[in-house]
Amino acid sequence: MSEKEQLKKLLLEKSYRHGKFKLSSGKESDFYIDGKQTTLSAEGAYLCGRLIFAVIRDNATKIDAVGGMTLGADPLVTAVSVVSHLEKAPIPAFIVRKESKGHGTGQYIEGLSNMPPGGTVALLEDVVTTGGTLLKVIERVEAQGFKVGLVVTVVDRLEGGAEALAAKGYKLEAIFTRHTLLQ
C-alpha cells in the first residue's frame, strides 16, 4: 500500500464522519472531516509530513519556510519540518495565531527568527472548505513581507476554497479532494 493509500485509510477511519454538521465556514454539511484526529496520530503526522514534503520538493518555487493557522496547521507544519530535516533539506516551521499576542511583541507569527526576511513560504491546512482561513493567513504573512509560493491542503472539500484562492492568484494543491477521498 502506498503512503497516499495509507493516509486515505487513516483519514477515513479517524477523521471522516457522516451526518449533519455545521462547519467553521458556517455552512452545513452531510459529512465532516476532523483532520486533527489523523494529523495528531503518529502515523498520520508522518504520512502527511512525507506527502506534503514531496509536494514542496516537486514544486518549482524554492520554499524557505512552512506554516499555517493554528490549530489545524500546527501538526502539519511540524511534521513537514521534521521530514524535511530527515531528508537533509531542512525547512523551518511557523505558526500564525488567530489573534495577535496580547503581550511581548504582539506578533501574529511565531517562528519568525527561523525565517529569512522576505522569504517564500508554503502555507498548509488540514481541510479546506471556503478558503477563508488561508486567505487570512496569506494576508498576515504578506503583511510581514513574505511571499506565498505554495498552498497545500490534506483535503479539499471542493466547496469554493480553491476558487477563492485562485481569484487572489494562489493555486491550491490538495493531497485529496472530497471525491478522491470518498471514492
The sign one gets for the Cα dihedral 46, 53, 100, 107 is: positive
What tens digit of pLDDT does each residue of 117-154 get?
999 999 999 999 999 999 999 999 999 999 999 999 99
Q: Where are the beta strands (DSSP E) in 10-84?
A: 16-22, 28-33, 65-69
Read out DSSP for 128-168? Answer: ESSSHHHHHHHHHHHHTT-EEEEEEEEEE-SSSHHHHHHHT
**Domain range for 117:** 3-182
Rounded to an integer, what distance in angstroms lies between the CA atom of residue 71 and that of residue 142? 20
CATH number at residue 26: 3.40.50.2020
Q: In terms of pTM, does the model score above 0.85?
A: yes
Indicate the number of domains in the chain.
Answer: 1
Q: Three cell numbers at 170?
A: 494562489
Q: What is the pLDDT of residue 132?
A: 95
What tens digit of pLDDT does each residue of 89-127 get?
999 999 999 887 666 666 899 999 999 999 999 999 999
